Structure 1
Amino acid sequence: MNPIDTRSLRWLGVIVPLLSWAIWTVIRSLIWHQPFSPIATLVELLIIAVGATLFANWVATNLERGEAEVRRRSEHLEALRQAGLSLTTELDIANVLQQVVDQSRALVQARYGALAVMGGDGQTVEQFYTSGISKEVHSQLPGAPEGLGILGALHRDGRSIRIADISADPRAIGFPEGHPPMRTMVGVPIASKGKYYGNLYLTDKRIMLPSGGVIDGEFTQEDQDLLAMFAIQAAIAIENAHLYRENQQIAVLRERERIGMDLHDGVIQSIYAIGLLLDDARHRIDTAPEQTRAGISAAINSLNEVIADIRSYIQHLRPQRFQGRSIKQGLEALTQELRTDTLLTVDLQVDDQAATVCTARQADEFLHIAQEALANVRKHAGASAVKLQFGFEDGLLQLAIHDNGAGMDPTQVRRSQGNGLRNMRSRARALHGEFRMETAPGAGAKLFVTAPIEKRDA
C-alpha cells in the first residue's frame, strides 16, 4: 500500500476552498450585481483560509496517525510471523525454549526476558531460561526462582499481567542479591489445547526514538496482546519438540526390540546349538575320542560363522545410542561410563556456545568418534588419564582427545587397516572435516577432529 501524500493534501485542503470562494464571489458580483466591499471580502478570505488550513491539518494529521498505526501493527505482525517461523525450524526442546524467550524479548523491545517451566507439582520452577542477562550476572544468581511473588501470581491465576512498577506491586517480594534491577513487566502463560507449559516474563520496556536513542517506558496493552499471540505459537512449537523427542524415544525402543529379536532368532540360537555340540563332546571324550574331536571342530567352525555373522551385523547396523542427545549430553555420558568402568582420571571440557551451534547430525558423528577413541584408550593405551575437549578452533568445531598412555609409532597410524581408525576417518569426512592424530612411543596420543559449523535449516 502506497503512503498517503499528506503534504499535498494539506495544500489542496486550503486551495480548493479558496478557489471555490473566489468563484462564488465573482458569480455574486457579475450575476446578482452585489456591491463589492474590500473589507468584507478580506474578512471572508481570512476566515475561509484559516478554517480551511485548520481543517486540512486536522484531516492530514489524523491520516498520518492512522497510517503510522497501520504500519506499526503491520511491522508487529511481520515480526510475530518471523518469530513463529524461526521456532518451527528447531526441534530440540532446550533450543526451542531459549528461542522463545529470545524472540519474545525482541518482539516487544524488552531489556530482559525469562521463561519458567513449572515442575510436575505445578508449584516449583523446574527449568528457567533467561535472555538479556550477561553470563557474569547469571552466574551470581542463586538459581531458578521459587515461583513466589509476582511470578507465582501469574502461575496461580493463569492470566496475563502487566505492571508499571514492580516495586510498588503488593505481590512483589523483592529480588535476590545480584539480580539486576527491573521496573516494568509483562507476563503471559504459555499453553495450548489445555496443556500448560510455563510462563513468559518480559521486563523493562525500551522505546526507540526517531533520533536513534532509547528511553525506558511502560508496556502497552498492544505489547501484552502481541506477546499472548506469540505465546500460543510458542506453545505449539514446544509441543512439536516434545512430540519429536517422544518419537525419537519410540524409535530407540523399536530399534532395541528389533535388535533383540534378531539376536534371539539368529546369534543366540547358533550359540545354543554350539553349546549342545560341546556338551555332547564332553560326554564322549573318553569313549569316542575321534567323534569328540570331530564335534569340537564342528563347534569351532560354527563359532567362526557366528563371529562373522556378528561382525557383518555390526557393520550394517545404524547405531541409535546417541539419537536425541546433544554433544554435551553425549560426551558427559561417555566420560561417566569410562570413569565407572575403569580407574582412569577423565577430564571433560565443553564450550557451551560450541555445543549450542553443533547440529544433531554433527553431534551424532562426533560422539561415535569419541566412543571409538575412548574404547581404544581403554584397550590399548595403558593410560592413567584422558582429557576430552569440545569447542572452537580457528572458527571450526573441534573435538580433541588426549591420553598419557604408551603411544605408538606414527607410521603405524598411517598404515593401520583396522576398523577403528578407518571408521573415525570416515565419520570425519561425513562432517566435511579433518581427522588428525599425533602420537609417539611413550608420549601418549592426541586425536583431533575438526568440522565446519553447519547452518540450521531455515
Structure 2
Amino acid sequence: MINQIDTRSLRWLGVLVPLASWILWAIVRTWIWDHPVSWLATLIELAIIAVGATLFANWVAVNLERREAEIRRRSEHLEALRQASLALTTELEIGKVLQQVVDQSRKLVNARYGALAVLGPDGRTVEQFYTSGLTPEFHSRLPNLPSGAGVLGVMSKEGRPIRLADILADPRSVGFPEGHPPMRTLVGVPISSKGKVYGNLYLADKRISLPSGGEIDGEFSAEDQELLSMFAVQAAIAVENAQLYRENQQIAVLRERERIGMDLHDGVIQSIYAIGLLLDDARHRIDTSPEQTREVIGAAINGLNEVIADIRSYIQHLRPQRFRGRDIRQGLEALAQELRNDTALSVSVEIDERAANVCTARQADEFLHVAQEALANVRKHASARHVTIQFGFYEGLLQLCIEDDGAGMDPDAARRAQGNGLRNMRARARGLHGEFRLESAPGAGARLSVTAPIEKREG
C-alpha cells in the first residue's frame, strides 16, 4: 500500500511541478518583463506542458511499479528458494533427500508434476525415478518408468538445462507411454556438484496463479529456469551430504564389526580355549582325583558364565564383563593367576603403581586385551617355563611388556606374522595412539611390548 501511495504521489508531482514552474515563468514574463499576453498561445503552452508532464510522470511511475513488482517477485522467489533449501537439510537418509528435492522443486516453480531421474555411473542410464504430483495409485498403474529416452535423455547427453513450451511439438520427443498423464510445458536442469552429475530434475505443466485465487496453464519462464538451477546447486550439496552420511554410517558399521571381532577373538575365544584346557585336565583326573575334578569342572562352569556375560556385554556395546570394574593391576594379576592355574608356568608380575594410577579405564581395557592375547599365545605356542608381565613407564609413555623364555621364533617371521591375534594387538596399539613391538629369536624366547601416551582422565 505504501508503494502504491508513493507512486500515485509521484504521478501528481510529475504533473503539478511542471505546471507550477510554467505558471511562475508566465508571471515573471508578464509582470516583470512586460511581455504581451496571448491567451491562445498561453492555453496551447499549458495544454502541451500538462500532456507532456502527465505522459512522462505516468511513464516513470509505470516503470517504477514494474521494477518494484520484479524486486518483490524475486524476493519471494529467493525466500521460497531459501525455504526449499532449508527443507533439504532436515533429512540425511538419501532416499528421503531425493524425494524432498523433487517435492520442493515442484512447489518452487508452481508446477503440476515433478520428477527426478537418478543416473547411474555412466551418467546416462536412469537407475531410480522419483516423482511428485502423482497419486500413489496412479504411480503404481504406470507400466514402466522412463528410461531416459526422447526429451528426458537430452540433458543426459548434453548436460544443459532444457525449457519447452510444448513437449510433443519438439522433434526430439518420442511421446508418452501408455497410462502416462498428458503434459505440455517442461523445464529441466541437471543436478551436479564438482563435475559429478547425480541426476536430472524435470518439472512439467506450469501453473500461473490469478489474483482471483484460481490457476491457469502457462509456460515456464527464463526466471523459473534460473531459480530451478540455483535450487539444483543446493540439491546437489544435500545429496552429496546424504551420500557422505551413508558412507560414514557404513564405515562406522565396519569399524564396529572389526571391534567386536577383535574383542571376541582376544577375549571370548581365548577364554573358551582356557576352559577347554580345564575340561581336558578334568577328563584325565576323573578316575584318580574326583575331588579335584569337581573343582576343575566348577572353575570351568564359572569361566563359561563369565564368557556368557562377556558375549552379552559385546552385544550391548559395553565393556567386557571380565575386565569391568578392574584397573590395570587387578586385571593383569587376574590374568597371571589364570595362567598359573591352567599351566605349570612360573608367572611374575611387576607393576609400577604410578603408571597404574594414571592409566585410564579405556587404556586398561585395551592393555588387558593385549595381555590376554599375548599370554594365550605363550600358553599355546611358546613351550616356556617362565613369563614376566611388566607395566610401567618407558620414556614418559605407559608400557605393557610380556616376556617369556620359550622357543621363540625367527625375527623375519615375527615381523611378517599376520594372524588374527597379532593383527588385533597391533590394531589395539594404534587405538591407543601407541606402538606395538615384537622381538624374538629362535631358542631365545619372545618379548612383546605396547607403549601408549598418558591420557587425561575425565572429570
Q: Same fold (TM over 0.5)?
A: yes
For residue 258 of structure 1, what is the aligned residue in structure 2?
Answer: 259
- TM-score under structure 1 normalisation? 0.67
Q: Which amino acid aligns with 2:114?
A: G
1:122-154 CA-to-partner distances (Å, cap 9, x unmatched) read 332111111111122111112321110011111
For residue 139 of structure 2, what is the aligned residue in structure 1?
Answer: 138
For residue 45 of structure 2, what is the aligned residue in structure 1?
Answer: 44
Q: Which amino acid aligns with 2:218?
A: G
CA distance in structure 1 between the partners assigned to 2:78 and 2:29 by the alignment: 56
Q: Any residues of structure 2 matched to 1:110-189 within 5 Å, and which?
A: 110-189=111-190
Q: Any residues of structure 2 matched to 1:84-123 within 5 Å, and which?
A: 84-123=85-124
User: Is the radius of gyration larger for structure 1 or structure 2?
Assistant: 2
Deviation at 1:88, TM superposition (A): 1.4
Q: Which amino acid aligns with 2:104?
A: Q
Deviation at 1:315, TM superposition (A): 4.8
- The alignment covers a number of residue pairs equal to 318
For residue 294 of structure 2, what is the aligned residue in structure 1?
Answer: 293
CA distance in structure 1 between the partners assigned to 2:126 and 2:300 by the alignment: 61
Question: Which secondary structure does the structure 2 equivalent of 1:168 belong to?
Answer: coil
For residue 3 of structure 2, what is the aligned residue in structure 1?
Answer: 3
CA distance in structure 2 between the partners assigned to 1:111 and 1:199 by the alignment: 17
* More off after superposition, 114-123 vs 79-88: 114-123
CA distance in structure 2 between the partners assigned to 1:299 and 1:129 by the alignment: 59
CA distance in structure 1 between the partners assigned to 2:123 and 2:42 by the alignment: 80
Q: Which amino acid aligns with 1:3?
A: N
Where structure 1 has 5 or more consecutive residues not aligned to the other structure, the ranges are: 319-458
For residue 221 of structure 1, what is the aligned residue in structure 2?
Answer: 222
CA contact (8 A) 2:260 2:314 kept: no
CA contact (8 A) 1:278 1:299 kept: yes
For residue 351 of structure 2, what is the aligned residue in structure 1?
Answer: none
2:29 is the counterpart of 1:28: yes
Change (3 A) 1:41 1:82: same
CA contact (8 A) 1:161 1:188 kept: yes
Q: Which amino acid aligns with 1:13?
A: G
Question: Which secondary structure does the structure 2 equivalent of 1:149 belong to?
Answer: coil
> 4+ residue runs of structure 1 moved beyond 6 angstroms?
none
For residue 414 of structure 2, what is the aligned residue in structure 1?
Answer: none
Question: Which secondary structure does the structure 1 equivalent of 2:92 belong to?
Answer: coil
- TM-score under structure 2 normalisation? 0.67
Deviation at 1:310, TM superposition (A): 3.2
Question: Which secondary structure does the structure 2 equivalent of 1:300 belong to?
Answer: helix
Q: Which amino acid aligns with 2:88?
A: L
Change (3 A) 1:109 1:22: same
CA contact (8 A) 2:94 2:239 kept: yes
For residue 240 of structure 2, what is the aligned residue in structure 1?
Answer: 239
Deviation at 1:269, TM superposition (A): 1.1
For residue 284 of structure 1, what is the aligned residue in structure 2?
Answer: 285
Q: Which amino acid aligns with 2:196?
A: K
Q: Which amino acid aligns with 2:144?
A: G
Question: Which secondary structure does the structure 2 equivalent of 1:170 belong to?
Answer: coil
* More off after superposition, 181-190 vs 306-315: 306-315
Q: Which amino acid aligns with 1:133?
A: L
* More off after superposition, 307-316 vs 133-142: 307-316
CA contact (8 A) 1:125 1:144 kept: no
Q: Which amino acid aligns with 1:47?
A: I
For residue 79 of structure 1, what is the aligned residue in structure 2?
Answer: 80
CA distance in structure 2 between the partners assigned to 1:15 and 1:79 by the alignment: 42
Q: Which amino acid aligns with 2:298?
A: S
For residue 70 of structure 2, what is the aligned residue in structure 1?
Answer: 69
CA distance in structure 1 between the partners assigned to 2:156 and 2:17 by the alignment: 60
CA distance in structure 1 between the partners assigned to 2:124 and 2:290 by the alignment: 75
CA contact (8 A) 1:13 1:53 kept: yes
Change (3 A) 1:315 1:112: closer
Question: Which secondary structure does the structure 2 equivalent of 1:147 belong to?
Answer: coil
Deviation at 1:314, TM superposition (A): 4.1
CA distance in structure 2 between the partners assigned to 1:111 and 1:305 by the alignment: 64
1:208-239 CA-to-partner distances (Å, cap 9, x unmatched) read 12222211111111111111111011000000
* More off after superposition, 55-64 vs 120-129: 120-129
1:88-129 CA-to-partner distances (Å, cap 9, x unmatched) read 121111111011011111111111100000123433211111
For residue 302 of structure 1, what is the aligned residue in structure 2?
Answer: 303
For residue 206 of structure 1, what is the aligned residue in structure 2?
Answer: 207
CA contact (8 A) 2:123 2:197 kept: no
